[in-house]
Amino acid sequence: MQRIFYAEAESSAWPADYAWGALKKAQFTDRAYQEARRSLEKQLRPTPQAFSILCSHALENAKTEKMIPQSLWASWFPDRGVKELQSLLELADRSPWIDGAYRAIALDRLNKVGHYRLVINYWKKHKAEVESDVATWAQTGRALASLRRKSEARKMMSSWHGRRGVAMWMVANYVGCLSALWPSDLKEIIATSGDALRDLPHDHCARYLAHVKAEACALLGDEQGLRGTWNQYPSYFDCRENSNEWFEDRRRPLLSDIPMLVRFLQQGQVGLYRRTVWRLRWRHISKSLGTRR
């Protein structure tokens, strides 16, 4: 396991996963973890998958509970598993081989269990390092968006066009922080979603971006833009939701609303079309009442 975990190169995640799985079956993971941790303390460089396994084990071994989001109390006084994960990240940070890939792995694990505040705290302490790497930048944007700190998230993620290696899910986090009540934000949603759908490899957020773009066109009164989006990405507007895809809960009704809008347009049912658009707008208004932008 040590030879696999601390190999000079990693062409596949399979060897590390297989080795760890075998150790699990033999009930040797605790001993193996301590051995791997001692190597990390000596500043030996684990492969990215090995570091991912160590971070996951730290949480699993302490039975860290996932809570979306974690409470302030849990952020101030994290459990044993989170402290151990932070310790692994500190060890990596002190090593000469540290780069964004390792930081992003640890921040991703914190985000997955709902410790968004700890990710943001790390960003504030290591701004230059975090913002210079697209993977760590994305995890910070994810944490800000998840805590509904939209202003900060928009400011950070609006620079996505100028970054290399941006994934579609990162753009989806940014789009989710824009308001459907402001024309300027609707225009930004249309432009950003369109650019992402055109230029980035489609992932589990592609269906969401197609629907959000279509909704923004409808809310801006751009019927031609709505038709164009529908015609360009017809497979995403089949009223279905794949279990492997991500769709923002508050926008899930769009899965049926957008096909309905296009049908009203095609059939010349102007009154029904306008009423449906108003219903979309009211949905956003009602959810924003009493909340800060």
237 with 176, same domain: the answer is yes
118 with 231, same domain: the answer is no
> For tokens 């197609």, what's the residue?
210
**For helices 116-125 and 80-93, angle between their N-to-C axes, nearest 10 degrees:** 30
Structure tokens at 92: 């990596």
Total domains in the fold of the chain: 2
Structure tokens at 258: 């957008």
Mean pLDDT, residues 102-107 taken together? 96
Q: How far apart are the first and last CA of the chain?
A: 50
CA dist list (Å): 216 to 144, 186, 225, 277:
23, 5, 9, 10
Can you give the pLDDT at residue 11? 87
Span 222-268, pLDDT tens digits: 999 999 999 999 999 998 888 889 998 889 999 999 999 999 999 99
112 with 215, same domain: the answer is no
Q: How confident is the model at residue 287 (pLDDT cuts 50, 70, 90)?
A: confident
Q: How confident is the model at residue 290 (pLDDT cuts 50, 70, 90)?
A: low
Q: Which of 118, 147, 176 is the last residue of a domain?
A: 147
Q: Which domain holds residue 185?
A: 162-293
Can you give the pLDDT at residue 292? 44
Asked whether residue 111 is assigned to any structural domain, the reply reads yes
